[in-house]
A and B are shown apart, each in its own frame.
Chain A
Amino acid sequence: MTARGLLRQPLAATGLAVVATLVLLALAAPLLPLPDPDLAEPARRLQPPLSGFGALGTDQLGRDVLSRLVWGLRVSLAVGAAATLAATVVGSAIGLVAAFYGRWVDGVMMRAIDVLMAFPYLLLALAVVAALGPGLANAAIAIAVANVPFFARAVRGAALGVVGRDYVDAARIAGLSDRSILVTEILPNVLPLIVVTAATTIGWMILETAGLSFLGLGAQPPQSDLGSMLADGRKALTTAPHVAAAPGLAIFLLAVGLNLLGDGLRDLLDPRLDAGRGGAPAAATDVERGDAREAEQSGEGALVVAGLTTAFDTPSGRHAAVRDVSFALPRGGSLGIMGESGSGKSVTALSICRLAASPPGVIVDGVVSLAGEDVLAAPVERLREIRGARVAYVFQDPSTTLNPLMPVGRQIAEAVSAHGAARRAETVDEARRLIEAVELPDPDRIASAYPHELSGGQRQRVGIAMALAGEPDVLIADEPTTALDATTQATVLRLFSDLRSRLGASLVFVSHDVSVIEAMCERVAVMYAGEIVEEGPTAAVLSEPRHPYTARLVACTPRLGEPDRALDPIEGAPPPIDGRPKGCAFAPRCRLAIDPCRAAPIRLEPVADDRAARCIRWEDVSLGRA
């Protein structure tokens, strides 16, 4: 798996090829038809490459440069590998022991590591090699010592996460010895990290060992590695640059190869370490619509969403996360979007202003019409004008949705100045007014506070203030109170509702919480597996569901005033986006499912005035029976 995975990454494959070639060359050195690397023939010294004295010419003593290069490579590789191995073993052992025993053992070891790390990297190596005396083995030891702290720290960090786990406690209770717990329980869990750390540092270590040799502190003649060859060659640089260039380029090539390979291995074994892999969302979600949609715009209402389909690009292909979602929201109206997590409700909400992360998200079909303007066709600059001013969002978790490094007052002021307000003083005043509007005490203090200095409720009020700043026509609230406790939730909701009605904005309210939707929204759309499965006036839908999923969702919600109601959780889980069934997506979990449900996609059909459901057995659905 590892090898194939590596070969799939072109850069890593290149690295592997380079390293493999060099390693093979080094291993095969005794078998290759090369002259004795130490055979001095002063009479034909400093011959240029391809002059008949070896492919790469000769050095100051008339020795064959190519042969020396291959043998030097062998030494450099061996020493680098040995140093890496030593640093890995010793560093990992320290890290494991420190993490496992904790307390004073950890304290003492980590302070010692701190002291080692107080030395600039090369300086520590230099001091060690100075103490041990020059020599290749000593240089390797020095480089290993200089690297031990990195391994110790990394492994300790990872091991700390493992030490507290249940199975370690279980092993302890089972009477396993410390050593066997360390070796059999903890080590395997941190092994990938160790391998990755070693793979990403070996190139570096080879480079630094060569550097010590270059300074004359590593390989001692007649023994030579690439670094000491470079130092030798340097003396003849003016007259015969090839003698220095050959080992220099070899070191460089080896390091490039090892680093490419190391990066590849890291991506493969420990994707978490490679933050760059997942990719960052662009300013707006990609839109790749077919041509069919052009005319299908309706000017009705503040917000009309028609046939919205948002897909995710995954390694296994492109899969729709939201499929064919349509709804219309009149000016001042409110719509709840309800569903479990993973139902696509948030993606729907985010797609409206093209805020769904892209990659992986792509809007592949549909229209989002805002007072007649197709948002999905708008250029980014126009989109920026729409965001905040026409459509504003309140997000779920205020602890992550506010910038932790900026006082909240500035974050609000920023929202104000994004749309108009010219002068700084004005925006500050406006921000203060907004903070007062969301009923936060002591606005000046709040304005200068950082998010982490506020409570969850206060943070969400700040989020609301920010959303109100642009006086939007449409407010989209994505689970705005989910992270709050019940009391705070109620007050924040009341406030939100008041402010919205004062503003006269339309509302899209996304939540999994039936009772909140009930309180906030005139209409509700229930989503399951990326599709709207039922839509209609809130009261009607919740009291008389026409889709089994709605019925089950309502049934598993505790209701105020009915403490004795038996809660009936929905067993099973929604299908993953790359594994949606051919027929009804809910069928596998549905007690009413029959064969036709599974045969073909079910259409969203009107079931009453102003109501629609995506179920062929809607007539059999009731709150008690689903």
Chain B
Amino acid sequence: MDADGQEPRFSRRLPALSRRSENHVRRLATAFRMILALLAAGVGLLIAAKPGLAPTPQDTLVVGQLAEPRALDPATVTGANDFRILANVFEGLTRFRRGSLEVGGALAERWEILDGGRTYIFHLRDGVRFHDGTAFDAEAVKFNLERLIDPKHPAAGTGPFPFAFFFSAVKQVEVVDPLTVRLRLDEPYAPLLANLAHPSGYMASPAALTKLGRDFGRAPVGTGPFRFGLWESGRQLRLIANEAYRGGAPKSKALVFRPIVDPNARASEMLAGGLDVMVELAPDSVAAFRDRSRFRIHEAGGPHLWFLILNTREGPLKDARVRRALNLAIDKQAIADHVLQGTATVPAGPISEAFGPASDPEVKAYPHDPEAARRLIREAGAEGATLKLLASEGGSGMLEPIAMATAIQSDLGKVGLKVEIETFEWNAYLARVNGGLKEAAMAEMAWMTTDPHTLASLSLMGSATPDKGGFNAGYYENPEVDRLLDEARAEQDSEARAALYRRIDRIVHDDAPWAFVATWRQSAVTSAAVSGFELQPSFLMDLSGVSKAPAL
């Protein structure tokens, strides 16, 4: 601004004056400066007043979620992310007890199992009403269950229902009286009670379903502690306390679920105080929340299993010795500690410890023993083999699939196996893997189930290969396992049933059709003011007992 405002000099050399004196455009410049000053002042004011950084209200609990829920019709969704919300709006006939996967009563006060497991009679709780004021009764139960299994049901158009197979054993739902309902099964099916506690068994208001049809998923009506408030796409989903809840009004007046897809953004928002609860803490963000005066980190195990499906039909992994070698070669503890930052533990076998007695305590995780692995590989003549590993980029329960694949590649390289990684977007990945491994040797997979039967029957039975509509993508076949699973399915005595699963656990561990890599310890962060928060092994999140102390 050399000549700004300066009186032009009568000089022999004039260019400075002609080119640089800027008072010619004074008015324009003034306008420019004024706008600039206004903008600066505006931003300054915003920074000072922080209108966008208001603290969350004390009676409202704000939960940072992984993503926008797909829908809020419990029968149509599959993600843990959506289930966390649904668990506060809906209830099933049964529920998982706090802190375990044992089944207790919910909308059904009690039940009787007759006919060697072929008939269930449920006695419903009296006086329960849906949020829309309609009564919850036996007709409602019939309506809900038939919606899942009867393609001609009036509300069948609200489907598809991915978990319908949970109830496919049910042949008939009969209303005995308004508070009694009878289910008839074509054969004994022990997992039924657990499946009724699963969100796919939640009871929705038949009146609302009939009225809204597909739009029910945008405005759900259940019997739970919170009722639906509003849903602003991409911003928030708000639930309002159901003062008339049968278990008493919940401690918070409202729940707000905010979808924040990016884990880093979610962590930033939590740090900035915009969230009270944040689920699925990214391993790398753990360090940021160590401050006990501001945050609490919650962790809980659960029936999650992250495993590699191994190809038992084609290639070097046909040989069980090589499959065992893989389990020995992968440094699972290092993956859990470093790649997953301590958010996972090392599983022993296919049946999760979270299933209590169904998991065999004698079955121990394969140790990290590259020497033994090399020996087994040598015995099987598979030295230097090239294995294709299918990996997903993300996905429900998949933890850090790419980083884990890379670590596995590195570990197997150390025992002389060359691994080629092929990655897919999650949905494309499911399409590839659920169709069977084909020429690939390994594929990453993760399941979260609430009954020991589900994963094993869908993924380990010889009759569950992809061509038969199952998820046994590695073509594992062991008649003994098949027989035990069939027996367990029909066994009504829980101790006897658990014993069968323990035997399956042992056999599958030794056969090693999978590499058992990690069991996720689900994690969440709450602000220090939040009390009553507890993670459940069922991955469901009941927030009715959670409250927030007044801010200081």
Residues A40 and B406 in contact, CB atoms below 8 Å apart: yes
Q: Please encode chain B, from 382 to 394, with 1 for each CB lying within 8 Å of some chain A CB and 0 for all others.
A: 0000000001010
Q: Please encode chain B, from 345 to 378, with 1 for each CB lying within 8 Å of some chain A CB and 0 for all others.
A: 0000000000000000000000000000000000
Query: B423 contacts the other chain (Cβ, under 8 Å)?
Result: yes
Q: Please encode chain B, from 1 to 44, with 1 for each CB lying within 8 Å of some chain A CB and 0 for all others.
A: 00000001010111101110100100000000000000000000
Complex formed: what's the CA distance from A395 to B497 in Å? Answer: 105
10 further A-B pairs in the complex, CB-CB below 8 A; given A235-B282, A283-B18: A38-B406, A42-B338, A133-B428, A220-B423, A234-B264, A235-B264, A235-B284, A238-B264, A240-B284, A354-B18
Query: A592 contacts the other chain (Cβ, under 8 Å)?
Result: no
Using C-beta atoms within 8 Å of the partner chain, give the interface range for chain A. 35 or more
Query: A503 contacts the other chain (Cβ, under 8 Å)?
Result: no
Chain B residues with Cβ below 8 Å from A238 are 264, 267-268, 271, 284-285, 287-288
Residues B17 and A380 in contact, CB atoms below 8 Å apart: yes
Residues B338 and A45 in contact, CB atoms below 8 Å apart: yes
Complex formed: what's the CA distance from A61 to B400 in Å? Answer: 11
Query: Would you call the interface of chain B mostly helix, strand, loop, or mixed?
Result: helix
Q: Please encode chain B, from 464 to 478, with 1 for each CB lying within 8 Å of some chain A CB and 0 for all others.
A: 000000000000000
Can you list 16 A-B contacts (CB < 8 A)? Answer: A46-B284, A61-B403, A133-B425, A220-B423, A221-B391, A221-B405, A222-B406, A234-B264, A235-B284, A282-B18, A282-B19, A288-B12, A289-B12, A290-B12, A377-B12, A377-B14
Q: With A42-B338, A239-B284, A379-B8 as known contacts, state yes or no: A286 contacts B421, CB within 8 Å.
A: no
Query: B407 contacts the other chain (Cβ, under 8 Å)?
Result: yes
Chain B residues with Cβ below 8 Å from A240 are 284
Residues B15 and A282 in contact, CB atoms below 8 Å apart: yes
Complex formed: what's the CA distance from A358 to B13 in Å? Answer: 14
Complex formed: what's the CA distance from A623 to B410 in Å? Answer: 99
Using C-beta atoms within 8 Å of the partner chain, give the interface range for chain B. 35 or more
Residues A286 and B18 in contact, CB atoms below 8 Å apart: yes
Residues A222 and B263 in contact, CB atoms below 8 Å apart: no
Residues B18 and A358 in contact, CB atoms below 8 Å apart: yes
Query: B528 contacts the other chain (Cβ, under 8 Å)?
Result: no
Residues A43 and B17 in contact, CB atoms below 8 Å apart: no
Chain B residues with Cβ below 8 Å from A362 are 15
Complex formed: what's the CA distance from A142 to B467 in Å? Answer: 36
Listed from nearest, the 5 A-B pairs whose CB atoms lie closest are: A42-B338, A286-B15, A379-B8, A282-B19, A284-B18
Chain B residues with Cβ below 8 Å from A38 are 406
Query: B45 contacts the other chain (Cβ, under 8 Å)?
Result: no
Complex formed: what's the CA distance from A355 to B284 in Å? Answer: 67
Query: Would you call the interface of chain A mostly helix, strand, loop, or mixed?
Result: loop
State the Cβ distance, B338 to closest chain A Cβ, in Å: 3
Residues of B that sit less than 8 Å from A by CB: 8, 10, 12-15, 17-19, 21, 24, 263-264, 267-268, 271, 282, 284-285, 287-288, 334-335, 337-339, 391, 393, 402-403, 405-407, 409-410, 421, 423, 425, 428
Q: Which of B21, B335, B421 contacts A380 (CB 8 A)?
A: B21
Residues B264 and A43 in contact, CB atoms below 8 Å apart: no
Chain A residues with Cβ below 8 Å from B288 are 238-239
Q: With A61-B406, A239-B287, A380-B18 as known contacts, state yes or no: A287 contacts B13, CB within 8 Å.
A: yes
Q: With A42-B339, A235-B263, A238-B268 as known contacts, state yes or no: A377 contacts B10, CB within 8 Å.
A: yes
State the Cβ distance, B542 to closest chain A Cβ, in Å: 30
Residues B284 and A220 in contact, CB atoms below 8 Å apart: no
Residues A286 and B14 in contact, CB atoms below 8 Å apart: yes
State the Cβ distance, B15 to closest chain A Cβ, in Å: 4
Complex formed: what's the CA distance from A281 to B13 in Å? Answer: 17
Chain A residues with Cβ below 8 Å from B21 are 380
Residues B334 and A42 in contact, CB atoms below 8 Å apart: yes
Chain A residues with Cβ below 8 Å from B425 are 133-134
Residues B15 and A288 in contact, CB atoms below 8 Å apart: yes
Chain B residues with Cβ below 8 Å from A236 are 284
Q: With A283-B18, A380-B17 as known contacts, state yes or no: A222 contacts B421, CB within 8 Å.
A: yes
Complex formed: what's the CA distance from A291 to B10 in Å? Answer: 13
Residues A61 and B18 in contact, CB atoms below 8 Å apart: no
Residues B17 and A379 in contact, CB atoms below 8 Å apart: yes
Residue of B nearest to A378 (CB): B10
Chain A residues with Cβ below 8 Å from B402 are 221-222
Residues A40 and B410 in contact, CB atoms below 8 Å apart: yes
Complex formed: what's the CA distance from A406 to B208 in Å? Answer: 66
Chain B residues with Cβ below 8 Å from A221 are 391, 393, 402, 405-406, 421, 423
State the Cβ distance, A76 to closest chain B Cβ, in Å: 19
Candidate in A240, A285, A380 with the most chain B CB atoms within 10 angstroms:
A380
Complex formed: what's the CA distance from A40 to B421 in Å? Answer: 14
State the Cβ distance, B388 to closest chain A Cβ, in Å: 13
Q: Please encode chain A, from 549 to 572, with 1 for each CB lying within 8 Å of some chain B CB and 0 for all others.
A: 000000000000000000000000
Complex formed: what's the CA distance from A266 to B405 in Å? Answer: 47
